[in-house]
Amino acid sequence: MSDTLSRIEDLKARMQEAIIGQEGVIDRLIIGLLANGNLLVEGLPGLAKTRAIKALARNLEADFSRIQFTPDLLPSDVTGTDVYYQAGGSAEFRFEPGPIFANIVLADEINRAPAKVQAALLEAMEERQVTVGGKTHKMEPLFMVMATQNPVEQEGTYPLPEAQMDRFLMHVLISYPPVEDEVEVIRLMRGEEIAALGERKEGASTVSQTAPVSQETVFAARREIAAIHVSEAMERYMADLVNTTRFPEAYGDNLKRWIEIGASPRASLALDRCGRTHAWLSGRDYVDPEDVHAIVADVLRHRLGLSFEAQGEGIDPDRVVEELRMQVALP
Kindly report, residue by residue over 109-149, the tens digit of the pLDDT.
998 888 888 888 888 888 898 888 888 889 889 999 999 98
pTM confidence score: 0.89
pLDDT at 206: 46
With beta carbons less than 8 A apart as the criterion, state whether 187 and 33 touch.
no
Contacts of 35 (CB under 8 A, 6+ apart): 169, 225, 270, 273, 274, 276, 277
Kindly tell me if the per-residue pLDDT of 199 is higher than 90. no
Angstrom distances, CA of residue 96 to CA of 67, 78, 82: 16, 11, 6
Angstrom distances, CA of residue 216 to CA of 8, 31, 104, 180: 11, 16, 15, 37
Least confident of 154-168, 170-184, 315-329: 154-168
Amino acid in the structure at residue 244: T
Average pLDDT over residues 20-49: 90
Instruction: Write the pLDDT tens digit of every residue in 217-258.
Output: 999 999 999 999 999 999 999 999 999 999 999 888 899 999
Contacts of 323 (CB under 8 A, 6+ apart): 252, 254, 255, 258
pLDDT at 30: 96
- Tell me whether strands 170-173 and 39-42 are parallel, antiparallel or unpaired: parallel
